[in-house]
Chain A
Amino acid sequence: MRDEIKQKVTTYVLDSTFAEKEKIKDDTLIFQEGFFDSMGFVMLLGFLEEAFEIRPVDADLVEENFESINAITNYVINKKAA
């Protein structure tokens, strides 16, 4: 399941930032590096809700959950398991 989630997240991140594949690694800090802006974050949340049927709550909106592809993957896995 992890690989499938990670693949979907990676595809979304690469498609929505128009970044070259080699520029965004699994642990690249996508917000700190400026790949995503405010709108990008809101769109990412919308994508996660739709693609994985989860509903991020306010308490989830912390850097640790969204800072990289790995972090987002872990967040989705934990959220689905909860």
Chain B
Amino acid sequence: MNSKDKKPFSKDIILLDNVEEAVNSIVNKMRSDTFQRLHRMGGVIGISGGIDSAVCLALAAKAYGPGKCFSIMMPEHDSSPESETLAKELADKFGIKAIKEDLTGALAGFNCYGRRDEAVKKVFPEYNPKDYKMKIGIKQSGLYTNLPPVFSVTIVDKDGNEKEDRLPVKEFLQIVAASNFKQRSRMCMLYYHAEVLHYIVVGTSNKNEKEQGFFVKFGDGGSDIFPIGNLYKTQIYQLAEYFEIPQAIIDRTPTTDTYSAEQTQEEFFYQLPYPLMDRYWYGYENGYSPAEVASVMGETEEHVKSIFTNFERKYKTTEYMRMAPIRDYYGK
């Protein structure tokens, strides 16, 4: 965009002016990509009861027709029961076939839970998965500093008493690696059904997740298309309103649904609520000055500079996750 055409930064600058036009553009491309480019007959989608998969399901229903969509709920031992209820309600609303594939057995086979619990016990020897829930999260607020966040582990006993400690590197890596079996197992199950039906896998990652690296490589990052991959969460909420997604899904706080204790995405990774983060990210991505963004957002210029630096660091340091396997070693 020519700098003289650039609109002044405002809180509403991120909003889609014409949601219907955006939806039509997405579904037209989904159709041509799926049928003409990828030569598949429809789409398989994993539904979690969250807003991203809900909007993707609605888009797929519009793009392919409900008869060419197939949705899969993939609960496992640590999933919230609410996720399944909401996912079923959603599939029913759009008339899309939904099946349940419980991944607990597969994950137990990988020793996902055992490997994770072993690492938690090294930090808290009293931890026992029967009596405690656990989660990991960001220890300190890294938003206004150039230091990356450090992760902590929290255990919660049956009475709700919490204990938190910083995660040493080995235990952190083990917990993350073990937990990533979940996203990768879901990807395997989605591709099983996609191949059986000769469909594609419709990925549900959004712009924030892809660009800030909040996904699992070859897990939820493994799919054939990402229809909302260039949309901010704020815009996804606009699409959700357009499709009349069940209010319970719209109102639900985005969670990771990965660890046994309740945990929001903000707490785990983003450190900012979506409405704020999206607007800062928009400003950063579109070259608005920290001073201009700060005056609109009611923040100090210094803080906005730090937030921009934080975004830049996240983007740079998660490049590995977005990279396809490298093959240019020898030969053409």
Residue of A nearest to B149 (CB): A38
Q: Which of A32, A37, A49 has the most CB of B within 10 A?
A: A37
Whether the pair A31, B172 counts as a contact (CB closer than 8 A) is no
Measured in the bound complex, the distance between the Cα atoms of B150 and A42 in whole Å is 6
State in angstroms the CA–CA spacing of A36 and B316 once bound together: 10
Contact with B along A31-50 (1 / 0, CB 8 A): 11010111111110110010
Task: Please tell me if B67 contacts chain A, counting CB pairs below 8 Å.
Answer: no
A62 vs B317: C-alpha distance when bound (angstroms): 20
B40 within 8 A of A: no
Q: Is B286 an interface residue (CB 8 A)?
A: no
**Does A61 lie within 8 Å of B146, measured CB to CB?**
no
In contact, B150 and A41 (Cβ under 8 angstroms): yes
Residues in B whose Cβ lies below 8 Å from that of A29: 146
A61 touches B309 (CB 8 A): no
Q: Which residue of A lies closest to B165 (CB)?
A: A58
Binary flags per residue of B132-157, CB closer than 8 Å to A gives 1, else 0:
00000001100001111111000000
Tell me, yes or no, whether A15 is within 8 Å of chain B by CB: no
Check A67 for interface membership: any CB of B closer than 8 A.
yes
Question: Which range contains the number of B residues in contact with the other chain?
Answer: 20 to 34
Selected contact of B147 from candidates A43, A46, A58, A66, CB within 8 Å: A66
- The answer to whether A58 and B149 touch across the interface, beta carbons within 8 angstroms, is no
Alpha-carbon separation in the docked complex, A42 to B139 (Å): 11
* A63 close to chain B: CB less than 8 A: yes
- Residues of A near B151 (CB, < 8 A) are 38, 42
Contact across chains for A63 and B148 when beta carbons are under 8 A apart: no
Within 8 A of B (CB), among A5-23: none
Chain A contacts for B145, CB-based, 8 A? 62-63
Per the bound structure, the CA–CA distance linking A67 and B148 in Å amounts to 11
Are B166 and A34 in touch, CB under 8 angstroms?
no
B39 in the interface, Cβ–Cβ < 8 Å? no
Q: With A38-B148, A41-B148 known to touch, is A58 a contact of B139 (CB < 8 Å)?
A: yes
Q: Is the CB of B147 within 8 A of A37?
A: no
Q: Which of B167, B168, B169, B317 contacts A34 (CB 8 A)?
A: B317
What residues of A have a CB within 8 angstroms of the CB of B139 in the complex? Answer: 58, 61
- Minimum C-beta distance from B318 to chain A (A): 8
* Chain B positions near chain A (C-beta within 8 angstroms): 139-140, 145-151, 166-170, 172-173, 309, 312-313, 316-318
Rank and list the top 4 A-B pairs by shortest CB-CB distance, nearest first.
A37-B317, A38-B148, A46-B169, A32-B146
Some 9 contacts from A to B, beta carbons below 8 A apart, are A32-B309, A37-B313, A38-B148, A39-B173, A40-B148, A41-B148, A42-B167, A46-B168, A61-B150
Query: Can you add 6 more A-B contacts, CB < 8 Å, to A43-B169, A58-B139?
Result: A29-B146, A34-B313, A42-B172, A49-B168, A63-B145, A63-B147
